[in-house]
Chains A and B, each alone.
Chain A
């Protein structure tokens, strides 16, 4: 920590002008998001006319959402995102543990296969996947999309899990084995509590990725089972030019991702870095 402070003193800092320019640039970057938030609280006519009225802030758009099945979409999204992230996390912790603690040629090959899988465009597998899901009678069911999201998230989740297990010394586990623990129990009892940051990283990255996903959700959950992203897109098509309700819905659609990101920022970033640098 002290070295960091020294570094801060020594590194060339920006002038006031430079700082102002950077801050202005950052605000510009966030401008599209900010306009959505501001216009969510403007009357519908103002939104339709692209007119900004500082004296007219209202929550009417959110009330209008209440007449649409938006709450149901939020529930759908929460179920499939949490379910998919949870399943991916569980499978990735077991898999990442195996890749970190055992040395086999086939395991290294499997790890490389996961990298390749991450490059497969979703569109390639989409059609055959549709047939599989249909044959299992899982179209328009939560379980169907939860399984699909788990598979989508597993490769990078496993890589992050492996990186975190690599940072936990095996000697801790060996002590537990001597005391009669099995591999699985030492994973849960000894490594588990230490892997907290890793678990938080995987969970936050996975949840946000699943919550934001559009293409798979649009194919595998339709009708009343739609997710928020898909529902919002159909609103923009139905209500015609984007209305106040869509702005309000956009704000609500952002909240879970933003909340998870802001609360678990450190873990989210460290997970993304672990995935990037290891990969």
Chain B
């Protein structure tokens, strides 16, 4: 982590034969920015400028082809009374919380289980990461193929035991459960691998000491494993939360926000509003609100983590 002061770069500067000392110092302080120049050029063009443009658009009216005038905060006020947007925010919140909690539970379960394998653990680890690596188009397609039709495999099973077939994608409740399930399927491998790495880093001595105090099994898990894994669990859950809140692919490819708008999240709704809704300013405002919500969540979570860690020291 520690790297010495920049002044150690002097031999290099002398070799380059820069003229005056004052100029040299200025050059040196600009040197890192020369290394960063390619990044900054790319990000400015593709990310920063469009982001600033989106914020400006969120204060304007008009469509994609015919931009309108300034409307100040009226787009934001309109969204506060837009029932579809409010439903999308609620869906995003439910989706994100459900995916984070379920990914954490399955990821933790698999991490602790695979940790207890003597041989073949590597093979299980490899197999468990597959859903994370497969292209989302293929994942959604494979899931849809298992559930979507009346004679799909899952429905054949349900019919055989007298429960089916179920029209999963025509029911708002089932569609919601399925997009959450697929997203959990895609993100829990990430939680699994971070927690497995963290678990491998916990010294055995802690458990041996606890065993002397008769703390084994669940009590050892609660008093040793949990506190030791907490930091990694919180940070990887935060990443999962960001990915889930911003998830476009799972929802768009499986349900397109349907049935009857039941699975619109903020991102998918903003996409439709931008490209097909004819009100660009409204779409931009949706995106900006989404970003602000995410930033607030991240700051709150990191602050909380910092406070808990400080309280324990």
Contacts and interface: CB of A to CB of B under 8 A. Distances in A.
Given A120-B47, A257-B135, A279-B235, A250 B12 contact: no
A183 interface: yes
B43 A151 contact: yes
A154 B38 CA distance: 10
A148 B49 CA distance: 13
A33 B142 contact: yes
A236 B32 contact: no
B131 interface: yes
A116 B295 contact: yes
Contact of A103 (B3, B204, B232, B248): B3
Interface stretch (A24-32, A54-62, A64-72, A195-203): A24-32
A132 B190 CA distance: 34
B138 A276 contact: no
A80 interface: no
Nearest to B271: A123
A250 B142 contact: yes
Contacts of B146: 31-32, 35
A119 B295 contact: yes
Contacts of A277: 194, 232, 235
Q: On chain B, which size bracket covers the interface?
A: 35 or more
B35 interface: yes
A17 interface: no
Contacts of A139: none
A78 interface: no
Interface stretch (B77-85, B116-124, B303-311): B116-124
Contacts of A36: 138, 141-142, 145
A233 interface: yes
A128 B46 contact: no
A218 B49 CA distance: 21
Given A119-B298, A174-B8, A7 B134 contact: no
A125 B12 contact: no
A242 B145 contact: yes
Contacts, number: 287
A122 B51 CA distance: 10
B29 A104 contact: yes
Given A124-B291, A214-B249, A242-B145, A158 B271 contact: no
B118 to A, nearest CB: 5
Given A119-B294, A123-B271, A124-B287, A258 B143 contact: no
B22 interface: no
Contacts of B42: 87, 91, 147, 150-151, 154
Given A103-B6, A119-B242, A250-B141, A151 B290 contact: no
Interface residues of A, number: 102
A254 B204 CA distance: 39
A193 interface: no
A124 B142 contact: no
Given A12-B116, A26-B124, A148 B46 contact: yes
B284 interface: yes
Nearest to B150: A50
B118 A8 contact: yes
A14 B119 CA distance: 11
B66 interface: no
Contacts of B143: 32
B51 A124 contact: yes
The 9 closest A-B pairs by CB, nearest first: A124-B287, A151-B46, A128-B53, A98-B35, A128-B50, A98-B32, A32-B142, A125-B50, A102-B32
Interface of B: 1, 3-6, 8-9, 11-12, 15-16, 29, 31-33, 35-39, 42-43, 45-47, 49-51, 53-54, 57, 64, 110, 113-118, 124, 126-131, 133-139, 141-146, 149, 151-153, 156, 185, 190, 193-194, 197, 204, 208, 232, 235-236, 239, 242, 245-246, 248-249, 252-253, 266-267, 270-271, 274-275, 280, 283-284, 287-288, 290-291, 294-295, 298
9 contacts: A26-B124, A32-B142, A32-B146, A33-B131, A35-B145, A95-B35, A129-B50, A177-B15, A277-B235
